[in-house]
Amino acid sequence: MIKLFSLKEEKAKEAAAGSSTAKVAPGLIRMQKDMSELTLDHGCKLAFPNGKEDLMNFELTIKATDGIYRNGKFVFKVTVPSAYPHDPPKVQCLTTIYHPNIDMEGAVCLNILREDWKPVLTIQSVIMGLQFLILEPNPDDPLNKEAALHMTKAALLFPRGGLSGRCAAPPRFLHREVARCM
C-alpha cells in the first residue's frame, strides 16, 4: 500500500515538472499503421505537401487507365481528422471534373466517407473507393445531378474515354440530346 502512494507521488512530481513525454494522438497512431500497410495500385501516387511528418494531410493522384475517364489525371486532397478512425477522412477533388458523384466545388459523394463509414475501414479502403468512383461513376447517388442526368438519359452519348480530367462541363450537343430524351 505504501508503494502505491509513493508511485502516485512520483507520477505527480513528473507531471508537474513536465518531464513526461508528449502524448501521441490515437488518430496519428492509426494513420502510421495505415500508411505502413498501404499498397498503391499502378496509377496512384501520394504526395505530402506539408512534409512527410504530416500524415494527416496528403494529396492522392489517380491516373485513370480505363472507363469513361480513361487517360485522366485526378488529384484529391485528403484531410484526416484527429478523431480518425472514428470519423472518416475528408476528401476534396482538386481537379475540375464533370462527374455524377463529384460537384463543381470538388466535394465527393462516396458512401464510405459518409453514412457507411466504420472505424475498421482504412485509408486503403478510401483510396480503393475513389479509384472505383473514377472507374464506375454512380448516377443513382448523384452529387452533380446534371452529370447524372446526362449519364442516365443520354448514356450512349456520355463521352467514353474522352474526358481527360479537364472537362468542367459536358459538350454542347449533350444538352440538346438530353432535352430530347426527357
Q: Catalytic residue numbers?
A: 109
The closest of 100, 104, 56 to 78, measured between CA atoms, is 56
Q: What whole-number distance in Å separates Cα of residue 14 and Cα of residue 48?
A: 36
Q: What whole-number distance in Å separates Cα of residue 39 and Cα of residue 50?
A: 21
Q: Containing H/E element for 166?
A: none
- Tell me 141's DSSP state: S
Q: What whole-number distance in Å separates Cα of residue 155 and Cα of residue 148?
A: 10
Answer whether 59's CB lies under 8 Å from 46's CB.
yes
Q: What whole-number distance in Å separates Cα of residue 182 and Cα of residue 160?
A: 21
* Block residue for cell numbers 477522412: 89
